[in-house]
Each structure stands twice: as C-alpha cells, then as structure tokens.
A and B are shown apart, each in its own frame.
Chain A
C-alpha cells in the first residue's frame, strides 16, 4: 500500500494539468447581448434599463464575435449601431486589441471592446478556465 503513496500527488495534480493544457473551446463564439421585447416601453415608464456595458471583454478564438440582437418593437441604438426590430448585428474580431466606438447609448459617449489573445497552454489557460468557470464550455480532446 505504501508503495502507491507516490501516486497521490499525481492524482491530485492531474485535473490542474488538464485544465492548464487541454484545448479550450466554447459552445458558441458569440458574446450575445439582447434587447428584450418591451424595453422601450419600460424606458418610457422611467425604468433605467442598461443592457450593454461600456466595456466588453472578448477572447480571440473563443468568444470573439459580438452579437447584438434587438427583440424590441422599435429601432434601438445598441452600442455603435442602430438595430431595427427583429434584427441582429454580428461583429467578428480577428486581432487582439482595444476597440473604441462612439456610442450615444452610454453616458461617456464611448464603448470599448477589449479583445484578449487566445490563452496559451499553461498558466494563461488555467487562469482563463478559472475566470470563466461558469461559462458553457466544451473541451476538445488534444
């Protein structure tokens, strides 16, 4: 029995090693923000409805498409674009950078999309998994 004790740390570290080195893949590359039906009416009634944050964080190769969808009954200024009822706007990113958009929907007049590089194997990937542990991920085999 004692002879197998050396296996304990190996077993304990195996999940960490897996999390650090197994490839990452999300179920969808879309980062969705949606204006629900009735938003205009709620705003007119005095509700403060905020859907789109003034800074959005995306990661290349994982969630690198911003998807804005208007399910309301009226056109909506949604970030940098005006979206018609029932319409969506999908914006892909291919370069890690910070993108600034003039946007009347935010008090600052600006909206930023920060696109981070794809996490490399090792600590960056482990950190990403921890930070996004609640996201719907599907891992692929190596």
Chain B
C-alpha cells in the first residue's frame, strides 16, 4: 500500500520529467559530481558537500574576463531574481582559472557586483588544474605583451549539480536567464 502511495506521489514528477526536457545538455545516467576543496571568497572552505541540498550552478572563469564571465554571471543573477523563493535553493559557485591574479578578496568584490549570494573559490594552480580535469574544463593563457595583461581561453559553460550532488547537466554559453529558470525549476521539482 505504501509502495503504491509512493508511486502515485512520484508520478507527476516522472510525467513532468518525461514531457519537459532541459534546455541544457543532459548527462545520462547522472553520476556524482567531482568533489573539490577550495578557499572560498566568503572566508569559509569551499566544497560541494557544503551545498548539499541545494542546486549548484558551477562556473569557471576569471575576474579579468572581458565578456563571457560578466555575461554569464549577470545572466545567473537575473535568473536568481526570477526564481523568487526558489532562489534560496540555488547556489552559484565561481571557480577561478586565474589564481595568479584572482585571490579571494578580488573574487569576492567581483562577485558582489552581480549577486551577494555568489561564492567564488581559488587554490594553488595545480589543485585548480586537477579540479578542471575532473570536470573536463579547459583553461589556457593567452599571452600578451605586458606580463600581467594576459587573457584566458576557458570553458564557458555552466555545470548544473543537483541537490544530491550529481552532475546532471551542462548549459552552454549564450542561454538566457529564462532557460536557466526553466531548468532549475525542473531539477528542483524532480528531486
């Protein structure tokens, strides 16, 4: 009897999942997202486990990024506003690919300009490189004439990690806030 009740309770969610597809690219089957341990821009250690129970939107970038990072972070900030009360269940995590210039203070100041709830992270270059490898993220320096004026070519997508810590999807660069809102609602409802 209990099993039948449970089945009936999950049917609407299953039906929704079957009818509505994510706008993002989907991993099937979903597997645990790689754990990480970074220095958080809010002063606390930054790990995936810290946000268990929340939907994590994981972004890789650098604060000197001229276009992609500001656009992505502004889009995510806009999406959080559109989410209303559901925004409390969403955490944006921004991991630098440029630890030489991005320390925790700089990352905090940068993120606050978009949304005060965003948390960033940095670590030693080798640790960040190991994390990127586990996520399949690319980052490489673009040399400039002045040593400190280099750019970074990096993966521009957003990784969506569900409340149980599974890597569910990857949203390519260029999607609007409404697409994030759409997928976040689906992922929050499906758990």
Contacts and interface: CB of A to CB of B under 8 A. Distances in A.
Interface residues of B, number: 24
Contact of A91 (B25, B29, B31): B25
A81 B25 contact: yes
B113 interface: no
Nearest to A81: B136
B28 A87 contact: yes
B140 A82 contact: no
Contact of A109 (B31, B138, B157): B138
B172 A88 contact: no
A82 B138 contact: no
B170 A89 contact: yes
Most buried by A among B23, B153, B172: B172
Contact of A82 (B24, B26, B136, B153): B136
Pick the most buried of A77, A99, A101: most chain B CB atoms within 10 A of its CB. A101
B153 A109 contact: yes
A81 B138 contact: no
Contact of B172 (A80, A83, A84, A87): A80
Contacts of A90: 25-26, 28
Contacts of B24: 91
A52 to B, nearest CB: 13
B75 to A, nearest CB: 15
A87 B31 contact: yes
B149 to A, nearest CB: 21
Contacts of A60: none
A80 B170 CA distance: 9
Contacts of B23: 92, 94
B150 interface: no
Interface residues of A, number: 22
Nearest to A88: B28
B125 interface: no
Interface in B134-176: 134-136, 138-140, 153-157, 170, 172, 174
A80 B136 contact: yes
A41 to B, nearest CB: 21
B27 A80 contact: no
B134 A82 contact: yes
B52 interface: no
A92 B21 CA distance: 9
Contacts of B26: 89-91
A103 interface: yes
Interface string A76-113: 01001111101111111010010101111000010000
Contacts of A82: 134-136
29 contacts: A66-B25, A80-B136, A80-B155, A80-B157, A80-B172, A81-B27, A81-B136, A82-B134, A82-B135, A82-B136, A83-B27, A86-B29, A87-B28, A88-B27, A89-B25, A89-B26, A91-B24, A91-B25, A91-B170, A91-B172, A92-B22, A92-B23, A94-B23, A99-B174, A101-B155, A102-B138, A102-B155, A104-B136, A109-B140
